[in-house]
Amino acid sequence: MTDQSLHFLFSLLHLVGIIMFAGGQFWFAVLTSRSSNLDDETQNRFIVGLLPRIANFNGLGILILLVSGVWRLFIWDQPGLLLLPSLYGWMLLAKLVIYMVLVVNGMFIEHRNIGRLQERLRGAENPSQDAEFRRCWRGLKLRSRLNFALTMIIVGIGETLPFTASPG
């Protein structure tokens, strides 16, 4: 493969990762907010069946973004730009820091919130009346909205990077 075709391939992968991740975060936030209006049985099926799948889809999008982004940085950009006091370097560093916060928050969503909600569903007769269930559900909605906001910030920073000073 030529250098230009590799660049195209990893740019395309990065775009696919953005679509999967940003779209997944959007639907995760919307569906968790909207599911509060559902009856208990439908909401429970949503928590047990769909939320883990959406979280896994988001995780796959994050992985694609990470691999394609690191590949693009090391092959076409200069990795030392992260340490230089250029606007490009600062923006890239900010993007990576926000990305790490987002990943950690996503781990909390998947392991703490979704995991506890599923445990409460298995152990309680009427989980929607359970205080721990309601607390975890509120936490899940809050964290999913935070992840969506962080995702949009990352996408915004990523879209402005080409307009900063040339990395090369």
> What is the residue extent of each domain of the chain?
3-163
Sign of the Cα pseudo-torsion (51, 57, 60, 66, in order): negative
Average pLDDT over residues 19-29: 84
Question: Quick check: 101 pLDDT over 60?
Answer: yes
Which residue carries 């200069």 as its tokens? Answer: 78
**127 vs 140, more confident:** 140
What does the pLDDT read at residue 74?
73
Average pLDDT over residues 19-39: 80
Q: How many CA atoms lie within 13 A of 94 on its CB side?
A: 17
Question: Quick check: 161 pLDDT over 70?
Answer: yes
Average pLDDT over residues 18-38: 80
Question: Quick check: 77 pLDDT over 70?
Answer: no
Question: Quick check: 24 pLDDT over 80?
Answer: yes
* Region of 130 on the Ramachandran plot (φ > 0 left; ψ -120 to 50 alpha; else beta): beta
Sign of the Cα pseudo-torsion (121, 126, 130, 133, in order): positive
What does the pLDDT read at residue 49?
77
Q: What element of type H or E holds 79?
A: none
What does the pLDDT read at residue 153?
92
Contact 113, 5 (CB under 8 A): no
The most confident of the ranges 45-54, 84-93, 103-112 is 103-112
Q: How far apart are CA 59 and CA 61, in angstroms?
A: 5
CATH 1.20.120 fits 3-163, yes or no: yes
Q: Which residues contact 32 (CB under 8 A, 6 or more apart)?
A: 51, 140, 141, 144
What does the pLDDT read at residue 83?
60
Average pLDDT over residues 135-162: 86
What does the pLDDT read at residue 104?
92
What does the pLDDT read at residue 167?
46
Which residue carries 């007769």 as its tokens? Answer: 125
Q: How far apart are CA 51 and CA 48, in angstroms?
A: 7
Average pLDDT, rounded, for the chain: 80
